[in-house]
Amino acid sequence: MDATLLLMQGLNGLQLGVMLFLMAAGLTLVFGVMNLINLSHGSLYMMGAYLAASLQQQTGSFLWAILLAVPATLAVGMVVEVVTLRKLYDRDHLDQVLATYGLILFFNELVRMVWGPQARFMALPEALSHSVVLFPGMRYPAYRLVIIGVGLGVGGLLFWLIHHTRLGMLIRAGASNREMVNALGVNIKVLYTVVFGLGAALAGLAGMMAGPILSIEVGMGEPVLILAFIVVVIGGIGSIKGAFVAAVLVGLVDTFGRVLLPAGVSSMSICILMAGMLCWRPKGLFPAHG
């Protein structure tokens, strides 16, 4: 494999990595702060993609579609939180897994009823549908570079939010000590709804950005969800930093695995990575809880 191809695949891996990070960030936050395993996180990814696709059809603009679909997914997330998930925070993980599994069934069927069973596609705007010359002899799709840029940007923003704002302080405090947050006079219910909405918006953003690359279809969130779980496990539950490092790692391993390994084995490279991590560090790279 020559250097150009290597670099191409590296960028592809990074692009998958930042998408996974957007998914995993929400999962790990919700887990770290509310102690909730949310299987339906993939449904929010799917909802983001479908909402953006519909909005693009209505408005005719890719940018408007994204700008409107993000708050829309945020709203969907908040409604889901208020209607069902809120009741699950003090339940055990088994209940959470079952109830959010029920949510997946619901969302998949809802999408099938509203948008039909056929896959949909999102068109890229003219400005992004070409390739750029990174250096002589290497062209790379502009849109994928945008994804990487947006992913890194959102990641940076999230890091700043968690570590340098009052909301972030509350989120971190909430992860370690609920009573303290309550004692600060903060309405913990509202905080939880906000955090969940934030995670939902990130998952939705990942979904809508994936729209033009992958087909938008029922159940599209589930493979991503499982990869995001692996990211969370490798990174350490509750850690944003861990989620980022692990997401890029998983993105790279998956991409290079597909290039370098025979077909049957390549899809397993991630899981082998995870198994190795488990032997080495059962609590993940950056365990947030002890």
Partner 1 sequence: MKRPLPILLFGLLLLVPLCGEVFYTRLFSRIMIHAIFAISLDLMLGYGGMVSFGHAAFFGAGAYTVGILSLHGVSSALIVWPAAVGVAALLALPIGALSLRTSGAYFIMITLAFAQIVYYFAFGLESCGGSDGMRLATRNTVGGWAGLAGHTVYYHVVWGCLLAVFLGCRRLVGSRFGFVIGGIRQNEARMGSLGYAPFGYKLTCFVIAASIAGLAGALIANEALYVSPSFLHWTQSGHVLVMVILGGMGTLLGPILGAMALLLTEEVLSSFTEHWMIVLGPSLIVVVLYARRGLISLLPGRREARADAS
| Terminal C-alpha separation, the chain | 42
Binding to partner 1, residues 37-76 (CB under 8 A): 37
CB of 78 to partner 1, least distance (A): 17
- The residue behind tokens 């059809």 is 57
Nearer to partner 1, 5 or 275 (CB): 275
CB of 43 to partner 1, least distance (A): 10
243 binding partner 1? (CB under 8 A): no
1 binding partner 1? (CB under 8 A): no
290 binding partner 1? (CB under 8 A): no
176 binding partner 1? (CB under 8 A): no
Q: Which of 103, 158, 209, 253 binds partner 1 (CB under 8 A)?
A: 103
Report the Cα 184 to chain-centroid distance in Å. 31
Number of chain positions touching partner 1 (CB under 8 A) = 44
Q: Which of 6, 87, 153, 182 binds partner 1 (CB under 8 A)?
A: 87
**Range in contact with partner 1 (rule: CB under 8 A) among 5-13, 153-161, 163-171, 261-269:** 261-269
Nearer to partner 1, 110 or 188 (CB): 110
Q: Which of 94, 133, 136, 190 binds partner 1 (CB under 8 A)?
A: 94
Nearer to partner 1, 130 or 281 (CB): 281
CA distances from 53 to 27, 59, 72, 243 (A): 24, 10, 13, 28
90 binding partner 1? (CB under 8 A): no
161 binding partner 1? (CB under 8 A): no
Chain positions contacting partner 1, by CB under 8 A: 31, 37, 84, 87-88, 91-95, 97-99, 101-110, 112-113, 222, 226, 229-230, 232-233, 237, 263-264, 267-268, 271-272, 274-275, 278-279, 282-283
